[in-house]
């Protein structure tokens, strides 16, 4: 019997624990989590902020027979020589295999007055990462009228939409020239800002926040160019930095994240790292699909199972989960700048905030952004992920419904649940094995257990003729 210690009871740590327990039920698995809660689905926090699912549905199922995690306990050191982890209360946990799943910490930009000299965040500011942060934002939203979201990335915009849905006046302050600049081209960013304006969110782009306005009680932000943005509280969403503290202090190789190989092994023997804290081939992902895929492979590797070829990376594919905003983006949406041979297919309808841009190179989709009508996202992402040749008639990429005999059936290799990487074939198989509803399918395949955006597609597959 081996002792496995997992530091971090988040989405990746929970998945490693579940997999290790399934593969080796006789092994002793201990999960240590700094947050006081059971493991929960962090991806759904923005839905919770928008007043959608209740906290119960956020909780990730804990397998029978696996000892309850040590919640509310922080690991403070790794003793490599003694093969133990030290907790804040002085307890030591021995391990034969150690997994670091410590996630990431929000980045706090250098805005005067945001952090006090003794290191405390302004009382009217919240850096959005945890369930407790989410509850604090919801509490501020119930007592204040105007919110500022600092950061116009995916998470910031989902938070802004959620706050607007609660009836608040919302301002997004974004330092870069357009929203979601890592996923969108400037045209898509502008179209998205237009769609958000209609939903009650004002976007300030190219706007450097310089200082907090107001002392004990926030009144807004002052920008570097002197403009004032009004707001009674601030949600900080300026990205997250992998939490490498424990690993670095123990002498493991770290760069942006804890450096791992294709089997998620760190530089120290029998120590693995997965999820947002890990850096693989120079990339720290910060998304659930890579975190779960890494968790699966690490669990195989550390239980001496078959990890296959290992983790080879994840393709960038993004979907905004916000009511009234349909947005999907994948790959390099500005590839034509570096590659003059790239073709761009473009359709937009500004009055309806529809903006679609597909970049094709060598008969293959290398990037796409679909705003306002993400219907082509399914077939496009399949072409993008598999690298298959596109149809001769390019219009079919933008308007798949034009194809003769076009129908809704998903090809078997279509990835229906992106978070858990579940194909249409796997869902059809679980149906033929007796799955009757999405809960059955979730138990068998994990489909729908991430962002939940695939629920209707799974329901369709369960009822297709």
Ligand X SMILES: Cc1cc2nc3c(=O)[nH]c(=O)nc-3n(C[C@H](O)[C@H](O)[C@H](O)COP(=O)(O)OP(=O)(O)OC[C@H]3O[C@@H](n4cnc5c(N)ncnc54)[C@H](O)[C@@H]3O)c2cc1C
Binding test (CB under 6 A) with ligand X, winner from 152, 189, 220, 286: 286
Specify burial of residue 338 (Cβ count, 10 A radius: 0-12, 13-18, 19+).
Answer: exposed
Question: What's the order of all strands across the beta sheet hosting 28-33?
Answer: 70-71, 28-33, 3-7, 97-100, 271-273
Name, in order, each residue with C-beta under 8 angstroms of 242's C-beta and a sequence gap of 6 or more.
Answer: 103, 104, 256, 257, 258, 276, 277, 278, 279, 284
Residue 35 binds ligand X (CB under 6 A): yes
Residue 7 binds ligand X (CB under 6 A): yes
Residue 448 binds ligand X (CB under 6 A): no
Give the E-state strand segments of 189-301 in sequence order: 201-204, 209-213, 220-223, 228-230, 233-236, 240-242, 258-260, 271-273, 278-280
Q: How far is the CB of 157 from ligand X (least distance, A)?
A: 11
How many H helices and E strands in the chain? 13, 27
Which of these ranges, 4-12, 380-388, 441-449, 457-465, lies near ligand X under the rule CB under 6 A?
4-12
User: In the bound complex, which residue of the shown chain has the CB atom lying closest to ligand X?
Assistant: 10
Binding test (CB under 6 A) with ligand X, winner from 2, 3, 52, 74: 74
Q: How far is the CB of 88 from ligand X (least distance, A)?
A: 8
> What span, in angstroms and rounded, lies between the C-alpha atoms of 322 and 409?
26
Structure tokens at 12: 């990746």
Residues of this chain, 212-271, that bind ligand X according to CB under 6 A: 243, 246
Residue 103 binds ligand X (CB under 6 A): yes
Q: How far is the CB of 207 from ligand X (least distance, A)?
A: 22
Q: How far is the CB of 355 from ligand X (least distance, A)?
A: 21
Binding test (CB under 6 A) with ligand X, winner from 276, 279, 293, 410: 276
Residue 329 binds ligand X (CB under 6 A): no
**108: nearest Cα among 277, 257, 234:** 234
Structure tokens at 452: 């939940």
Residue 376 binds ligand X (CB under 6 A): no
Residue 75 binds ligand X (CB under 6 A): yes
- Which residues form the interface with ligand X (CB under 6 A)? 7-13, 32-35, 42-43, 45-46, 74-75, 101-103, 128-129, 155, 243, 246, 275-277, 286-289, 291, 321, 451
């Amino acid at each position: 019997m081996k002792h496995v210690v997992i530091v971090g009871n988040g989405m990746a740590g929970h998945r490693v624990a579940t997999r290790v327990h399934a593969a080796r039920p006789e092994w002793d698995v201990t999960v240590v989590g700094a947050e006081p809660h059971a493991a929960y689905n962090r991806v759904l926090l923005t839905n919770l902020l928008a007043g959608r699912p209740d906290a119960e549905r956020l909780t990730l199922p804990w397998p029978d027979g696996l000892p309850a995690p040590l919640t509310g306990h922080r690991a403070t050191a790794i003793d490599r020589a003694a093969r133990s982890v030290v907790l804040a209360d002085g307890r030591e946990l021995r391990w034969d295999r150690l997994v670091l799943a410590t996630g990431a910490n929000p980045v706090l930009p250098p805005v005067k007055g945001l952090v006090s000299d003794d290191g405390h965040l302004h009382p009217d500011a919240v850096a959005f990462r945890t369930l407790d942060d989410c509850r604090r934002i919801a509490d501020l939203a119930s007592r204040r009228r105007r919110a500022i979201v600092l950061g116009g990335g995916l998470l910031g915009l989902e938070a802004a939409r959620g706050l607007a849905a609660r009836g608040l006046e919302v301002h997004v302050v974004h330092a870069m020239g357009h929203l979601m600049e890592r996923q969108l081209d400037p045209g898509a960013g502008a179209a998205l800002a237009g769609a958000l304006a209609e939903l009650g969110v004002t976007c300030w782009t190219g706007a450097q926040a310089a200082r907090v306005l107001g002392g004990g009680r926030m009144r807004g932000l002052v920008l570097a160019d002197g403009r004032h943005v009004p707001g009674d509280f601030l949600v900080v969403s300026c990205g997250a930095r992998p939490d490498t503290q424990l690993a670095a202090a123990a002498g493991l190789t770290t760069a942006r994240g804890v450096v791992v190989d294709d089997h998620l092994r760190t530089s120290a023997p029998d120590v693995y790292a997965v999820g947002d804290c890990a850096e693989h081939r120079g990339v720290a992902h910060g998304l659930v699909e890579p975190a779960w895929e890494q968790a699966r492979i690490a669990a195989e590797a550390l239980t001496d199972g078959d990890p296959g070829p290992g983790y080879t990376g994840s393709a960038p594919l993004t979907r905004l989960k916000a009511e009234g905003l349909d947005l999907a983006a994948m790959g390099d949406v500005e590839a034509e700048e570096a590659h003059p041979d790239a073709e761009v297919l473009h359709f937009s309808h500004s009055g309806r905030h529809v903006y679609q841009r597909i970049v094709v190179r060598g008969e293959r989709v290398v990037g796409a952004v679909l705003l306002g009508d993400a219907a082509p996202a399914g077939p496009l992402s399949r072409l993008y992920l598999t690298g298959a040749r596109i149809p001769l008639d390019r219009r079919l990429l933008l308007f798949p419904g034009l194809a003769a005999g076009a129908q809704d059936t998903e090809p078997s290799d279509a990835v229906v649940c992106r978070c858990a990487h579940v194909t249409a074939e796997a869902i059809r198989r679980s149906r033929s094995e007796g799955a009757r509803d999405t809960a059955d399918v979730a138990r068998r395949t994990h489909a729908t257990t991430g962002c939940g955006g695939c629920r209707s597609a799974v329901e369709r597959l369960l009822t297709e003729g």
